[in-house]
Structure 1
Amino acid sequence: MRYILFLIFFGFLVSCKPAINQETRIKEDVHFLASDKLEGRQTGTKGEKAAADYIVKRFKELGLNPKGTEGFIQPFTFKPKTNPHEEVKFDVNGDGTITGNNVIGYTDNKAKNTVVIGAHYDHLGYGGEGSLYRDSIKTVHNGADDNASGIAILLNLAAKLKGKNTNNNYLFMAFSGEEMGLLGSNYFVKNPTIDTKKVSYMINLDMVGRLKKDSALAVYGTGTSPIFKQTLKSHNNNFKLIEHESGVGPSDYTSFYLADMPVLHFFTGQHEDYHRPSDDAEKLNYDGMEIISKYIFNIITDLDNNGKLAFRKTKNDSNNSPRFKVGMGVVPDYMFDGKGMRIDGISEDKPAQKAGLKKGDIVVKLGDSTVVDMMSYMRALSVFKKGDKSKVIVKRGDTEVEKEIQF
């Protein structure tokens, strides 16, 4: 009898255990995905598979339906490019192939149209060609900001949207292969598991974990639908928005734009830990991530009654980008909207460091060219070849400093 009473009491305690609040797990999700045991989540590795399994588990907890080709998973096999200008070959057989895994969950609200929310979860593993880390020691690149942050906000939005804004269905996609060339999103668009003609718009989240003190938030694709700019403005109470109209850029939203879908891509800017082992979970601004998630949720809410959004082609800025033979070895501050090109990071043993340039310097003149923005900086850089020397003038605080740089 005493044993039976104990079981009844124990069952009562279990039944009273509070349910997990799925809207407060951003930090938890980042810390798992950016942990050393996932070994940098490089596409085709055990670490990538472990990350995919975790995202599948979270999708199930959130009540999403599987929408891959194998449950929640959409595997894709490809052969890595040896020529950067050739197109990747999917579904090839033989040695040297890699299999990546998109993770796809779906909320079916029986609506006519679908909103796609995506973020890549792969990263650089132990480094490789994409790494900016110059030490010869093999080191895990955890990719907390790039892009555990995007996945964490995607999961947070899935929780926020449960049972809400039901005039659209929602497809949540965690892409792999982004670091190798937007491969997962490219594959999905060519092999969709839903009718992409009924996609209203796509939201992409990539590096959204480092909201800075000036609250600058870059949004790309603002020109891909006529309604976007006003919608972004009407819900902005927290950010210094830096808007880019083009639907083409270095993240997965490009794949959807090129298939004639309106896109919005959110980004809090590069930093000195970008593509380095130091991109760790403790450096993220979790309060900022929650504010960004609420902002995007409000945008989705506003657009809920607008049906399928109109698509508009935009000018592709990359077509006008000059080609250059050398680099300075800096990480530009893409969030800077003043005159010049502000340096957000310096690579070791590269021309900028050797010339004495520092993080925070604003390049205002390179050679004979005045630098007023990123495009003019690239044009100025494009005239140099290896071995050339040039004067570079930077604004450092309130003073201008002249240095000599050798490429």
Structure 2
Amino acid sequence: MKKIALLFIVLFVFACKNEPKQAENKIKDDVTFLADDKLEGRQTGTPGEKAASGYISERFKDIGLLPKGTEGFIQSFSFKPKTDPHKEVEFTTNADSTITGRNVIGFIDNNAENTIVIGAHYDHLGFGGEGSLYREKDKAIHNGADDNASGVAVMLNLADRLKVRNETAETKDNNNYLFMAFSGEEMGLLGSNYFSKNPTIDTKSINYMINMDMVGRMKADSTLAVYGVGTSPMFKQTLKANNEKFKLVENESGVGPSDHTSFYLIDIPVLHFFTGQHEDYHKPGDDSEKLNYGGMNLISEYIFTIITDLNDNGKLAFRKTKNESEEVPRFKVGLGVVPDYLFDGKGMRIDGTREDTPASNAGLQKGDIVIKLGDADVTDMMSYMKALSTFEKGDETSISVKRGEDIIETTVKF
């Protein structure tokens, strides 16, 4: 009897050893840690940011990534805060009045010629300050669960899945993978900008870059925005061929308000994934319990299939795109709304309103679609901004919105 029991134990141990390794799904755990009050909003240069970088470093280590920073997984960068908003930040080694941020960089080495960069920024706004849309007098922690603990969590999930695949597959992928958690994004894409000027790998070997910023609030219609689709001829067909779950909103430009821009500007194809703004954007209410974790899992799976599909295509061709940000008109006033950037109908749909603003004072509501502002028809976001740019503080004008099947006409004062 003892011999039989011993035989079962041996067989069990042998079976466990030969069981294929599985990637662990820790998306919710990662968001919960990064968006906890204890990290005090992960503002660049603070103890909370340092704690977050330490956590991500440990996750990289546990997954089995190789360190690719300048100090293990960490690439530190120091800079002086801007005094002129129109000037670029200067990176410096001078310790006087400087802030130090930390990129976290890990690597899967498949001995391939080319490398795919997969990134997401992990810094946020701390207790608010510049960039915050919180208007109360008491300071409050901005946890940034969607912005951008969500992107970091999906990046870590992809790192784990790609590491497991390349450990268990008979042949390794035709690309290496560089995973980057950027700091300083909220201060002006500083971490990715610094890396582009001080890379820890040869940037000529970078095949393309995937960025995830605010991917945690997928709505019921499963809308997913993908920017940069025009930066390589392969992207559009690949996105379409692998899409079964999403209503895709595509934008060709490689330039936008996130870290993919830093790579596009050094002639690297980019894809940037985004599930849209919301009423908690840059406010204390952006907390972990409000995220759509099922949607995040679907996005991770989608990006994984895109990477897999592109694996045998060699190095992708880069293509410059129209810089739409150069066409954005300047304006002196605002309605005080959160636009729905994923709305692809006619007009500008309001995704949220802020209290005591021209919009709220005029009775505008979430879901209203602005179709006319003053004498100008509003057909999309650009026409809305052009119409807004003609007004100054104190002006009063008419506004028409579609609310359900009704057209509401009212007056707004800036």
For the aligned pair, the TM-score class normalised by the smaller chain equals over 0.9
Contact 1:217–1:241 under 8 Å retained in 2: yes
The alpha carbon displacement at 1:22 in A equals: 4.0
Distance 2:362 2:46 in 1: 39
**Cα-to-partner distance string for 1:37-83 (whole Å, 9 max, x where unaligned):** 00000000000000000000000001000000111000000011111
Q: Which amino acid aligns with 1:349?
A: D
State the partner residue of 2:232.
225
Distance 1:99 1:129 in 2: 18
**Cα-to-partner distance string for 1:84-134 (whole Å, 9 max, x where unaligned):** 110110015253210000000000000000000000000000111111111
**Cα-to-partner distance string for 1:252-311 (whole Å, 9 max, x where unaligned):** 000000000000000000000111111010111111111110000000000101111000
Q: Which amino acid aligns with 1:283?
A: K
Residue aligned with 2:42, SS: coil
Contact 1:80–1:97 under 8 Å retained in 2: yes
What pairs with 1:128-167 in structure 2 (closer than 5 Å)?
128-162=129-163, 163-164=165-166, 166-167=173-174
The alpha carbon displacement at 1:21 in A equals: 5.5
Contact 1:75–1:102 under 8 Å retained in 2: yes
The reply on whether 1:370 has 2:377 as its aligned counterpart is: yes
Distance 2:174 2:246 in 1: 28
Shift in alpha-carbon separation, 1:20–1:305, aligned structure 2, 3 A:
closer
Distance 2:23 2:147 in 1: 22
Identical columns (%): 72
State the partner residue of 1:83.
84
Residue aligned with 1:115, SS: strand
Q: Which amino acid aligns with 1:51?
A: A
The reply on whether 1:191 has 2:212 as its aligned counterpart is: no
Residue aligned with 2:261, SS: helix
Q: Which amino acid aligns with 1:66?
A: P
The alpha carbon displacement at 1:385 in A equals: 0.6
State the partner residue of 1:181.
188
Task: Detail structure 1 runs of 4+ shifted over 6 Å in the superposition.
Answer: 16-20
Residue aligned with 1:105, SS: strand
Q: Which amino acid aligns with 2:44?
A: T
Contact 1:189–1:259 under 8 Å retained in 2: yes
State the partner residue of 1:399.
406
Match of 2:176 among 169, 182, 185: 169
Match of 1:306 among 302, 308, 313: 313
Shift in alpha-carbon separation, 1:30–1:19, aligned structure 2, 3 A:
farther
Contact 1:225–1:311 under 8 Å retained in 2: yes
Distance 1:188 1:105 in 2: 13
Match of 1:380 among 346, 367, 387: 387
Distance 2:266 2:145 in 1: 29
State the partner residue of 2:169.
none
Distance 1:40 1:373 in 2: 34
**Cα-to-partner distance string for 1:325-349 (whole Å, 9 max, x where unaligned):** 1111111100000000001111222
**Cα-to-partner distance string for 1:199-254 (whole Å, 9 max, x where unaligned):** 00000000001111000000000000000000000000000000000000000000
The alpha carbon displacement at 1:23 in A equals: 2.9
Distance 1:94 1:349 in 2: 42
State the partner residue of 1:5.
none
State the partner residue of 1:44.
45
State the partner residue of 2:122.
121
Distance 1:84 1:335 in 2: 28
Contact 1:177–1:184 under 8 Å retained in 2: yes
Distance 2:66 2:83 in 1: 37
Distance 1:255 1:24 in 2: 29
Distance 2:112 2:23 in 1: 24
Q: Which amino acid aligns with 2:127?
A: Y
Match of 1:361 among 352, 356, 368: 368
**Cα-to-partner distance string for 1:24-45 (whole Å, 9 max, x where unaligned):** 1100000000000000000000
State the partner residue of 2:268.
261
Residue aligned with 1:250, SS: coil
Q: Which amino acid aligns with 2:207?
A: S
Q: Which amino acid aligns with 1:44?
A: G
Distance 1:400 1:79 in 2: 50
Match of 1:285 among 277, 292, 296: 292
Distance 2:21 2:78 in 1: 36
Distance 1:385 1:327 in 2: 9
Distance 1:302 1:225 in 2: 14
The reply on whether 1:315 has 2:316 as its aligned counterpart is: no
Contact 1:103–1:174 under 8 Å retained in 2: yes
Residue aligned with 1:282, SS: helix
Distance 1:138 1:117 in 2: 34
Q: Which amino acid aligns with 1:232?
A: L
The reply on whether 1:35 has 2:42 as its aligned counterpart is: no
The alpha carbon displacement at 1:137 in A equals: 1.2
Shift in alpha-carbon separation, 1:20–1:179, aligned structure 2, 3 A:
farther
Contact 1:346–1:359 under 8 Å retained in 2: yes
Q: Which amino acid aligns with 2:115?
A: T
Distance 1:233 1:20 in 2: 31
Contact 1:79–1:92 under 8 Å retained in 2: no
How high is the TM-score relative to the length of structure 2?
A: 0.93
Q: Which amino acid aligns with 1:133?
A: Y
How high is the TM-score relative to the length of structure 1?
A: 0.95
The reply on whether 1:328 has 2:335 as its aligned counterpart is: yes
The reply on whether 1:106 has 2:117 as its aligned counterpart is: no
Distance 1:91 1:106 in 2: 26
Match of 1:202 among 198, 209, 220: 209
**Cα-to-partner distance string for 1:362-398 (whole Å, 9 max, x where unaligned):** 0000000000000000000000011111111111111
